[in-house]
Amino acid sequence: MKISNIFKEFLNNTSDFVFPRVCIISGNKMQENNSNPYIQDKILNSLQKLELKDESLLKKIINHPFAFSLYIFHSDSDVQKFVHSIKYEGFKNLGIFAGEILGKELLLKNFNSLKEYDFILPVPLHPSKQRERGYNQSDLIAEGLSRVIGIPLKNDIIKRIKNTKSQTRLDINQRKKNVENAFRINKKYYGFLKNQNVILLDDVITTGSTIKEILSVILRANAKNVFVISLAHTRNPEST
């Protein structure tokens, strides 16, 4: 073994000893043969996924026929811990990893129409909120998705022009009012969406208020098709 390889192995072993990799959900130390550095495989594989009835409900909630979400989101669940680790705790690489999982699931489900889409549009944060957080979690998920399905990411076409309050504690009507007129097309992209097929991506869809507001903006810009995708969906929006 070369000296450089011995040194790298020493550094890796030392790093694992001083800063052992732990599961972001359970807090337990990760097995050496775990498939990823973030979540124990047994937990990752047990995360609750949407069923057909949930997919139908999602499409009904956002009033749009083309939609997909991977996980069921509810309070105090492992999926919530997964999402919140990306969204609030600065685990940027975890966001990219989540997007890669999402992309692999879409390919596994044989969404042949994916190749017809031109680019991915992540739901934007308001600039002040993004400066405060340091990143947009939807950008990270979209980056991972882009890597897997081979569709480019465009994160500057849709702009959030209204610094909305958090939707978390708002009811359905308040959420709708909160995001009303909150988004517009970036001026330099006027006319760009005409006849384009786009993927609109969010981290979590609850009541669908944000997605519906952005959908209306995109469709008014004469996009041809929009496929709404999220990492997670709240099965019962009234419960969060």
pLDDT digits (tens, 9 = 90+) for 191-213: 999 999 999 999 999 999 999 99
Going by pLDDT thresholds of 50, 70 and 90, the confidence category of residue 65 is very high
pLDDT digits (tens, 9 = 90+) for 87-131: 999 999 999 999 999 999 999 987 778 889 999 999 999 999 999
Q: What is the pTM of this model?
A: 0.87
pLDDT of 29 over the 70 cut: yes
pLDDT at 59: 95
pLDDT at 163: 79
CATH assignment of 48-239, given 2.60.40.3120, 3.40.50.2020, 3.90.1150.10, 3.40.50.720? 3.40.50.2020
DSSP code of residue 182: -
Q: Where in the chain is the domain with CATH 3.40.50.2020?
A: 48-239
* Average pLDDT score over residue span 50-58: 92
The helix/strand/coil state of 1 is coil
Going by pLDDT thresholds of 50, 70 and 90, the confidence category of residue 20 is low
DSSP code of residue 29: B
Q: Which two tokens stand for residue 166?
A: 């958090």
pLDDT at 49: 96
Cα separation of 1 and 138, whole Å? 42
Question: Which of 55, 52, 36, 54 minimizes the C-alpha distance to 44?
Answer: 36
pLDDT digits (tens, 9 = 90+) for 147-196: 999 999 999 999 999 877 677 777 778 888 878 888 999 999 999 999 99
Burial of 23 (0-12, 13-18, 19+ CB in 10 A): buried
Average pLDDT score, the chain: 88
pLDDT at 176: 80
